[in-house]
């Protein structure tokens, strides 16, 4: 479980990019027939020109002398005399090796214990054990050796090409098994880890999330399919494929976050991708990591919204008002109506009851505006000053804005502080198209609001 522990520790430390490096090491070595023992010892060192070590447990016979001579050109054979052999010796003293060759009768000792020892050791389990017998027609151990896990058998006459092919095949076979063991371990992690080939087709993915389109078929596989074929969100599928093309073009990894609204769920996924290279340094595919970062992103959005909100009234603040209106003339959905609003009698409330009640009066004013259903669907409310508010309504002509003002005036009787009903003066203006100046339109709304406020003061008769 060394791989799983390393990955879990990496995730806990939030160094997600190290997972990709680690997986890159695994895939690099598997693709090039390096054993997991070598992965552990040597990382991603380029071993193209280094001969792999083959341990030969020799009985000193002509057969083993011949095997050693055959292997010397392509491998680094290390001879260990049978009388000196022990599992502890090769596991502790020899740095790494790619295969072990042993006589069938020797392998059968202690109820075929060597196979049990190798299979139980996480560093040696990927190393193939190849059994040699002097006479295949008269050997009672070879069949049992295969049952216990021998990768292959060699026997006289010893053909050089035949033996080298068998050793390479045994290493490939063992490494393939190791790959699937690693894949199964990775499935225990919450992250989705995947591999793609040079054409952007999936080789495997550790999880099939609900964001994918696939039939309820237990034999369905992601293997060989592209993002366009399997993703429900086609826009994000296109984004993923474009990111893959850029990786193949530049050789550089990328990381980005996408928002998905599928099956009634709003989710955010963090995508991390790195190029996967072969022994010649050429990009052979992409290794990726997908993390569900919904909780983190919702917290970020909440914090950003908090920075835009007025704490007292829970409407947008002056800072966001400046940001929003700066882009309004470029991206506004016309006509855009502007309502300017200002609390009436706030000074009297403050003088009579104090500023805490005055704050409550301002809050009630904002609550009145916030509860209007039309404003909820089409508008944004900003507190631009102490008791001053601006309401911006997209796709709203002036006559509709004036009707909203009438609604607010009628609804004001339901909002009061210290038995004093909320009273607000309004003014409205409209941006008909992008050629209309927002500042001029806002100025017109303000002028109308102040005119109405002045008339309110003249007509006010009842004291608090």
pLDDT, tens digit, for every residue of 174-206? 776 566 677 777 788 888 999 999 999 998 888
Which tokens is 337 given? 């109506």
Residue 204 Cα to chain centre, angstroms: 16
Handedness of CA 190, 196, 200, 201 (dihedral sign): negative
pLDDT of the residue at 252: 95
Write the DSSP symbol of residue 128: P
Answer whether residue 224 shows pLDDT above 70: yes
Between 371 and 220, the higher pLDDT residue: 371
Write the DSSP symbol of residue 203: E
- State the pairing for strand pair 192-197/420-421: unpaired
Tell the residue number behind the tokens 């225990």, with chain if given: 188
pLDDT of the residue at 105: 93
Answer whether residue 282 shows pLDDT above 80: yes
Which residues, 6+ apart, have CB-to-CB distance to 88 below 8 Å? none
User: How far is 452 from 464, CA to CA, in rounded Å?
Assistant: 20
User: How far is 190 from 317, CA to CA, in rounded Å?
Assistant: 39
Which residues, 6+ apart, have CB-to-CB distance to 40 below 8 Å? 2, 96, 123
pLDDT of the residue at 101: 96
* pLDDT tens track for 388-422: 999 999 999 999 999 999 999 999 999 999 989 99
Between vectors from CA 404 to CA 399 and to CA 407, what angle results, nearest 5°? 130
Tell the residue number behind the tokens 């090039």, with chain if given: 32
Cis peptide before 157 (omega within 30 of 0): yes
User: How far is 426 from 234, CA to CA, in rounded Å?
Assistant: 46
User: How far is 118 from 250, CA to CA, in rounded Å?
Assistant: 42
pLDDT of the residue at 47: 43
Which residues, 6+ apart, have CB-to-CB distance to 22 below 8 Å? 3, 6, 7, 10
Tell me phi and psi for residue 53, to 5 degrees.
-85, 130
For the chain, what percent of residues have pLDDT higher than 90? 60
Which residues, 6+ apart, have CB-to-CB distance to 190 below 8 Å? 11, 291, 292
User: How far is 376 from 246, CA to CA, in rounded Å?
Assistant: 42
* pLDDT tens track for 124-173: 888 999 999 988 887 889 999 999 999 999 999 999 999 999 999 998 88
pLDDT of the residue at 19: 52
User: How far is 443 from 428, CA to CA, in rounded Å?
Assistant: 10
pLDDT of the residue at 186: 79
pLDDT of the residue at 233: 86
* pLDDT tens track for 2-50: 334 433 444 444 444 445 544 554 454 444 433 333 333 344 344 445 7
| Mean of pLDDT values over 315-344 | 89
CB atoms inside a 10 Å sphere around CB 315: 23
User: How far is 272 from 215, CA to CA, in rounded Å?
Assistant: 27
- For the chain, domains (ranges, CATH) are 2-185 (3.40.50.2300), 192-298 (3.30.450.20), 309-459 (3.30.70.270)
Q: Among 201, 206, 205, 264, which Cα is nearest to 232's?
A: 264
Cis peptide before 335 (omega within 30 of 0): yes
Answer whether residue 225 shows pLDDT above 80: yes
User: How far is 64 from 103, CA to CA, in rounded Å?
Assistant: 9
Report whether 290 contacts 271 (CB < 8 A): yes
Of 28-32, 69-73, 88-92, where does the model show the most confidence?
69-73
Handedness of CA 353, 357, 359, 362 (dihedral sign): negative
pTM above 0.75, yes or no: no
């Amino acid at each position: 479980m060394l791989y799983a522990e390393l990955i879990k520790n990496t995730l806990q430390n939030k160094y997600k990019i190290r997972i990709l490096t680690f997986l890159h090491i695994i895939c690099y070595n598997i693709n090039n027939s390096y054993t997991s023992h070598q992965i552990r010892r040597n990382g991603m060192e380029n071993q193209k020109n280094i001969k792999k070590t083959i341990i030969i447990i020799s009985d000193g016979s002509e057969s083993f002398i011949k095997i050693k001579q055959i292997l010397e050109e392509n491998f680094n054979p290390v001879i260990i005399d049978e009388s000196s052999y022990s599992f502890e010796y090769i596991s502790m003293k020899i740095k790494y090796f790619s295969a072990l060759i042993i006589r069938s009768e020797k392998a059968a000792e202690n109820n075929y214990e060597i196979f049990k020892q190798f299979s139980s050791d996480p560093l040696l389990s990927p190393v193939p054990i190849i059994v040699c017998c002097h006479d295949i027609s008269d050997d009672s151990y070879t069949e049992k050796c295969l049952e216990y896990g021998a990768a292959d058998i060699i026997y006289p006459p010893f053909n050089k090409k035949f033996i080298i092919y068998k050793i390479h095949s045994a290493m490939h076979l063992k490494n393939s098994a190791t790959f699937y063991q690693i894949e199964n371990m990775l499935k225990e992690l919450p992250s989705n880890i995947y591999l793609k080939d040079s054409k952007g087709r999936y080789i495997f993915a550790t999880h099939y999330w609900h964001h994918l389109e696939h039939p309820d078929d237990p034999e369905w596989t992601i293997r060989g399919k592209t993002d366009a074929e399997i993703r429900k969100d086609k826009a994000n599928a296109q984004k993923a494929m474009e990111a893959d093309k850029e990786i193949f073009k530049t050789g550089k990894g990328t990381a980005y976050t996408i928002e998905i609204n599928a099956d009634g769920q709003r989710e955010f996924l963090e995508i991390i991708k790195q190029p996967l290279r072969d022994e010649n340094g050429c990009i052979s595919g992409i290794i990726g990591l997908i993390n569900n970062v919904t909780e983190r992103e919702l917290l970020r959005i909440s914090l950003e919204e908090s920075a835009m909100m007025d704490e007292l009234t829970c409407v947008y603040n002056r800072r966001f008002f400046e940001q929003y209106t700066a882009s309004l003339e470029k991206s506004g959905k016309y006509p855009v109506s502007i309502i300017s609003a200002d609390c009436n009698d706030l000074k009297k409330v403050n003088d009579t009851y104090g500023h805490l009640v005055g704050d409550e009066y301002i809050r009630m004013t904002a609550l009145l505006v916030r509860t209007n259903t039309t404003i909820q669907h089409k508008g944004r409310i900003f507190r631009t000053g102490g008791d001053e508010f601006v309401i911006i309504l997209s796709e709203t002509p002036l006559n509709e804005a004036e009707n909203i003002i009438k609604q607010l005036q009628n609804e004001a009787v339901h909002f009061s502080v210290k038995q004093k009903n909320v009273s607000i003066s309004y003014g409205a203006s409209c941006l008909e198209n992008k050629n209309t100046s927002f500042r001029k339109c806002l100025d017109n709304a303000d002028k109308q609001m102040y005119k109405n406020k002045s008339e309110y003061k003249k007509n006010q008769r009842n004291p608090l």
